[in-house]
Structure 1
Amino acid sequence: MEGAIVLYPCPGSGHLVSMVELGKLILSNHSSFSISVIIPTAPFEAAATHDYIAAVSAAIPSITFYHLPPVSLPQNAYYTAKEFPAVLYQLCQLNNPNLHETLLAISSRSKIKAFVIDLFCNESLQVSSNLNIPTYYYFTSGANCLSYIIYFPKIHRGLTKNLKDLEDMKINVPGSPSVRAKDMPEPLLDRAKYVYQCFVDSALDMTKSSGIIVNSFELLEERACRALANGECAPGDSMPPVYFIGPVVSEKEKDSEQIHECLSWLDSQPSQSLLFLCFGSLGVFYTEQLKEIAIGLERSGVRFLWVVRTPPPNDETVRKLAETDPSIESFLPEGFSERTKDRGYLVKSWAPQKAILSHDSMGGFVTHCGWNSILEAVCAGVPMLAWPLYAEQKMNKTFLVEEMKIALPVDASDEGLVSAIELEKRVSELMGSDKGKAVRERVKAMKEGAAAAAREGGSSRVALAKLAESFGGVPT
């Protein structure tokens, strides 16, 4: 019987793609394993991941996908980023009977060497423990963020108030910069919420697992990697081996006519002259914010490529237009596209981010601080403006600016609005000041460090070999 590694991602695009890319990485270096991926059916639109899974299935027959049947969740046609964590935890919990059947089916054909789960699939630990399958966690964000998650039960025990009520109080964790209480991820802010306890339980369970795999590399987050490896973040709790095997980034992006137009336009732009603005798969703004961005870009005078999404359904302009597919110009200042057409390019909804960041014309990236986007920018050597929106992104902003020093901050008002004046100032700083130059040089060094980590003998390649050995593979 061959050894099977079973991966169990949550269905969110950033988590699922990263987990499957981990499977591809394991296979490319340790072909004695087979990879099975069990995917819960998402209660939200997941067209982008369908295309991706189909492409991987066709290209790599030794990765097998199992789709769990749908389960009944509270129906919501439009899930916001805030609601996602609770929905994902519930989805996993309800899928345990389906998961149990699927693991039994896989184990009848192969010896399951390891079960690798997402943080949001924590409830599945009950199933794998009952079946005596060694369980590992794949953490799709960085080492600094993991330090905070692992340390969180200690923070929880030491406080009686909600983090949301502590505002600017600093939270301190070994090996990481301090973070304001209000900048912690939304699910950790209110002790009374279901999702809060899910995170506390996940953190405790992670420390008892067979290992934690992290999508980062040692040079990028030296202090946090060291603190995690030494067990400093789990005071009083055991800490399993931690494997820093990153950067794991997706290789292929979908193909469309729009992509070719956008990339051929980039070919006509001067080297390192362009600012790219893109805010992830859940990053949507109201019309008021889109107009501020447009005014800031116009005043800055920089060249730009901006991915613009239609505002959420409850946006006033969206309601007034009452169209199913309004043009993006409807949400921008009148005449903006015409006035900036010689130096700006607008893309609706989606763009091939990795290909764009790797293009020679790229000079800066305004990012929502999602971890996959950060790693893609690091691998391309593109400096960032950190504009966080949800999840752990406000923490990531602190880590990028203060610890890694590969980004400059974008600051929002208390209501969450980034003004045109703020954006213009930060864009000018990144693209044309000594501060921007220092960040650019630092991120280029990290680009070289990422490549070195992934090469033979590099820290991430060595960690991957140790991981495969712990799975029961042949050391290489």
Structure 2
Amino acid sequence: MANRTPRRQFHLNNRDMKQSVILYPSAGIGHVIPMAELAKVFINHGFDVTMVIVPPFSGQFKRVAAATPSISFHVLPPDVPPPSMSSRRTSHHLTTSPAPAPASTVTLHAEDPATHLHSLVIDMFCADAIDVAARLGVPVYTFALSSASALAVLTQIPALLATSQTGLKELGDRPLEFLGVPPMPASHLIAELLEHPEEELCKTMASIFRRGMDTRGVLVNTFQSLEIRALQALSDPQCVLGKVLPPIYCVGPLVGNSARDPRARADERHECLRWLDAQPERSVVFLCFGSMGVFSQEQLKEIATGLDMSGHRFLWVVRRPASSIYDPKRFLGQQPKLDLDAVLPEGFLERARGRGLVVRSWAPQVEVLQHPATGSFATHCGWNSMLEGVMAGVPMLCWQLYAEQKMNKVFMTQDMGVGVEMEGYQTGFVKAEVVEGKVGLVITQIFCVFKKKKAGDGI
């Protein structure tokens, strides 16, 4: 058991021959960005890195590619069947990803006499690529983009499903006990895993999580002091009875560097950063819900009303209302420019002038979170965003939307103590009064703590 302790670090052995690594993320910018941060770690160790990109999402990585020219990007040809879109299935586009697609890329690197292919690092949703690498004799590692806590739950799920006759949805909010994490309401598991165990997508998802743990090791974007219980559970023989899990390597926090280029002109910074410069320290709540976080127009108006009533400063990233987070036009950049006046309450932007700023679609999140004026963060509880909030030291308002985010909310509020819950997410609608109250609670508390620390009184 000593050789599988979470304290073990992921070391790379240098050889005389130039070594290379292939990284294979699944579709979506939330998968590509952390994989690009992992690529920087390999590059810093002297490795050449090639990242395989799945269409039709290849346009999303252009900003990543521009920021990391040392990574070689290999975009799969358009004749490769793209991942499916589904308004009903949260993870359908991931589970149907063309996993064998990087075979030619792996083969090319494996047969190049000038380099030594050290390994293939796959996203867990690309687990079928394990077979490709096995045929070529290439070592494979899994990169888990979720938390170690979520990984601990997901590795224990297949055994639970094997004993279920009706599906976990029947349990409602009944808490389930998993090694290494707080009690988890059954309703907070990934939606596909709540279906009947014989339902095709449920079986596929369970198989993915099972296969993803069949590699030489699992790299997790976390650090030990944040998730010590979960990491200990993953090295415990009782975690999955009858199965020896691979070594777990903490490679995080993989958070983008927001350090400002001293050569950059002031007017080259994003408008929201210039606006933050004029705000008092720790006074602004930042609302941003990920690349796929969309709300109905009714919910957008309710958020705006809550912010209006709170009287607190805010920076809010608003995306176009959509019937589905998988609206293909959103991914392919085919939507017209968002008309804020059309989706927000009448007069809201004028009333908020000076106190609040609404930004369309995107903001430099890491830079915003690390700005001195930012006091709290309303987030969808995606793991990347949660880590960025932790590293910036801002408390979070948890408004989870899909995938494993409800699970993350449990970890954040009950285990890590870094966030508070926005009531109403269970029904799919958070009222203005809740937004007002939670924003006021967190901003007031953090501002009081900040003033005490600044006065030298301690906490």
Same fold (TM over 0.5): yes
CA root-mean-square deviation = 2.6
2:254 is aligned, of 244, 248, 258, to 248
Aligned residue identity for 1:205: R
Structure 2 partner of 1:68: 76
CA shift in 2, pair 1:158/1:409, >3 Å? same
Asked whether 1:103 is paired with 2:103, we answer no
CA contact (8 A) 2:282 2:447 kept: no
The match for 1:237 is 243
* Alpha-carbon spacing, 1:436–1:194, altered in 2? closer, same or farther (3 Å): farther
| SS at structure 2 position matched to 1:359 | coil
Q: Is the aligned partner of 1:124 residue 2:129?
A: yes
TM-superposed CA distance for 1:413, in Å, is: 5.5
Give the partner amino acid of 1:401: T
- Does structure 2 retain, via aligned residues, the 8 Å contact 1:207–1:238? no
Looking at structure 2, the residues matched to 140 and 372 of structure 1 have their Cα atoms a distance apart, in angstroms, of: 8
**Counterparts in 2 of 1:257 and 1:69: CA distance versus 1, 3 Å:** farther
Letter in structure 2 aligned against 1:34? D
Deviation at 1:164, TM superposition (A): 2.1
2:83/2:97 contact within 8 Å kept? no
Q: How far apart are the structure 2 equivalents of 1:7 and 1:253? A: 26
Query: Which piece of structure 1 moves more, 263-272 or 104-113?
Result: 104-113
1:293 to 288, 303, 307: 303
SS in 1 for 2:357: strand
2:424 aligns to what SS in structure 1?
Answer: coil
Encode CA deviations 1:12-37: one digit per residue, 9 max, x unaligned: 10111111210111221x21x32222
| 1:312 is the counterpart of 2:328 | no
TM-score (norm: length of structure 1): 0.82
Do the aligned residues in 1 keep the contact of 2:375 with 2:395 (CA within 8 Å)? yes
Change (3 A) 1:413 1:359: closer
Task: Sort the Cα spacing of 1:397 and 1:10 in 2 relative to 1 into closer, same or farther, 3 A.
Answer: same
Residue in structure 1 matched with residue 232 of structure 2 by the alignment: 226
Matched residues in 1 for 2:318 and 2:133: separation?
A: 42
The residue that corresponds to 1:89 in the other structure is 95
Preserved CA contact (<8 Å) 2:55 2:82: no
Describe the superposition over 1:372-414 as per-residue Cα deviations: whole angstroms up to 9, x where unpaired.
1111111111110000001100100010000000101111165
Contact persistence 1:295–1:420 (CA under 8 A): yes
Contact 2:84–2:96, Cα closer than 8 Å, also in 1: no
Counterparts of 1:117-156 in structure 2 under 5 Å?
117-156=122-161
Shift of 1:259: 5.0
Counterparts in 2 of 1:138 and 1:434: CA distance versus 1, 3 Å: closer
Q: Secondary structure at the match of 2:111?
A: helix
CA contact (8 A) 1:89 1:123 kept: no
Residues 79-115 of structure 1 deviation map (CA, whole Å, 9 limit, x = unaligned): 65x645222221224xx1x422221111121322211
Pairing of 1:356-375 with structure 2 (within 5 A): 356-375=368-387
C-alpha deviation, 1:313, in angstroms:
5.7
Q: Which runs of 5+ in 2 are unaligned?
A: 1-16, 326-334, 454-459
2:49 to 35, 47, 66: 35
Q: TM-score, normalised by structure 2?
A: 0.85
For 1:185 and 1:259, the matched residues in 2 are separated by 38
CA distance in 2, matches of 1:6, 1:413: 39
Please tell me whether residue 157 in structure 1 is matched to residue 162 in structure 2. yes
1:433 deviation in Å?
A: 4.1
Give the direction of change, closer, same or farther, for the CA distance of 1:337–1:437 in structure 2 (3 Å limit): same
Indicate yes or no: 2:113 matched with 1:113.
no
Q: Distance in 2 between matches of 1:51 and 1:436?
A: 38
Whole-angstrom distance in 2 between the partners of 1:90 and 1:192: 18
What are the within-5 Å matches in structure 2 for residues 373-384 of structure 1?
373-384=385-396
Cα deviation, 1:252-307, whole Å, max 9, x if unaligned, reads: 69999795321111011001011000000000111110111011111111110011
Whole-angstrom CA distance in 2 between matches of 1:352 and 1:342: 20
* Counterparts in 2 of 1:386 and 1:436: CA distance versus 1, 3 Å: farther
Structure 2 CA distance for aligned equivalents of residues 314 and 17 of structure 1: 22
Asked if the contact 2:282/2:446 (under 8 Å) is kept, the reply is no
* Alpha-carbon distance between aligned partners in 1 of 2:219 and 2:50, rounded to the nearest angstrom: 17
Which structure has greater helix proportion? Answer: 1
**1:65 Cα offset (Å):** 2.1
Q: Which stretch of structure 1 is more off in the superposition, 191-200 or 274-283? A: 191-200
C-alpha contact 1:143 1:225 (8 A) present in aligned 2:
yes
Which among 26, 40, 43 is matched to residue 42 of structure 2? 26
Identical-pair percentage: 37
Residue 278 of structure 2 aligns with which residue? 268
Given the alignment, which residue of 178, 182, 187 partners 2:187?
182
Please say if 1:415 is aligned against 2:427: yes
Q: State whether structure 2 residue 401 is matched by structure 1 residue 393.
A: no
* Number of equivalenced pairs: 419
1:8 corresponds to 2:24: yes
Q: Is the 8 A contact 1:184 1:395 kept in 2?
A: yes
| Distance in 1 between residues matched to 2:371 and 2:132, nearest whole Å | 45
Aligned-partner residue type, residue 290 of structure 1: L
What is the aligned partner in structure 2 of residue 470 from structure 1? none
Separation in 2, partners of 1:74, 1:260: 33
**Superposed CA offset, 1:215-273 (max 9, x none):** 00011111111111334422221111100110001236999979532111101100101
Match of residue 201 from structure 2: 195
Q: How does 1:429-448 map to 2 (within 5 A)?
A: 429-433=441-445
3-state SS of 1:275 partner: strand
Q: Using the alignment, how far apart are the partners of 2:104 and 2:157 within structure 1?
A: 33
Superposition map of 1:200-211 within 5 A? 200-211=206-217
